[in-house]
Amino acid sequence: MTLDRFYPIFDHTDWLRRMLPLGVKLVQLRIKDQSDPVIRAEIDTARDLCRAHGAVLVINDYWQAAIDAGCDWLHLGQEDLDQADLPAIRKAGLRLGVSTHDDDELERVLGMDPDYVALGPVYPTILKQMKWHQQGLPRVTEWKARVGSIPLVGIGGMSVERAPGVLGAGADIVSVVTDITLNADPEARVHQWIEVTR
């Protein structure tokens, strides 16, 4: 299946209720610091909302809850990979996207036959402290040459204005968080994202 080129990440299903009706077709639910019952309820709700809107839902990190909820996609960061049961994830039929930041991580991930590879941060990001500074567009081009037919997701410091350059550099998909969630008019911003990526 071909994934949409616009890939927003939200931390709560309230965002999905607002954004899915606007035409979002690929979305990640990234929940932090919640109890297990809350996480599972959010995943169930997100699954149902995405199915109702014909959107692909990617669950960040919580692989067991994603399996239990019958989800289709999972995203793991490098630190999550250490704890995850990859054979169980694959046996459940989950497709897997993984974060990468340097050569060693990319080599590790390519050995797992991922369904997409994310490279970040392409630009400086305010979302989380990272030991990697911006990767830049030449790195996007290099990564695409290395991953070949595997979809490449560019993430980190993304905006509507930067998206065409990142896609032009070789990314198949652009992932975004704060350019939407911190925008004064998130709905209008999503419309702009859809326009620029399709």
Q: Which domains does the chain have, with CATH numbers?
A: 6-197 (3.20.20.70)
d(CA 79, CA 160): 29
The pLDDT value recorded for residue 159 is 97
- What stretches of the chain adopt beta strand conformation (E)? 6-10, 26-29, 56-60, 73-76, 95-100, 116-119, 152-155, 173-176
The pLDDT value recorded for residue 129 is 65
The pLDDT value recorded for residue 127 is 65
Output the six-digit token pair for 177.
């968080």
CB 16 within 8 A of CB 43: no
Output the six-digit token pair for 92.
């459940």
Residues of the chain with pLDDT below 50 are none
The pLDDT value recorded for residue 90 is 96
Q: Tell me the three state secondary structure of residue 74.
A: strand
* CA distance to 19, 36, 111, 135, 172, per residue, from 128 (Å): 23, 23, 27, 15, 23
Entry pTM = 0.96
CB 26 within 8 A of CB 56: yes
| H-helix or E-strand spanning residue 189 | helix 186-197
Report whether the peptide linkage leading into residue 121 is cis, meaning its omega lies within 30 degrees of zero.
yes
* Distance, C-alpha 57 to centroid of its chain: 9
The pLDDT value recorded for residue 1 is 74
pLDDT digits (tens, 9 = 90+) for 90-101: 999 999 999 999
The pLDDT value recorded for residue 124 is 87
For the chain, give the number of residues: 198
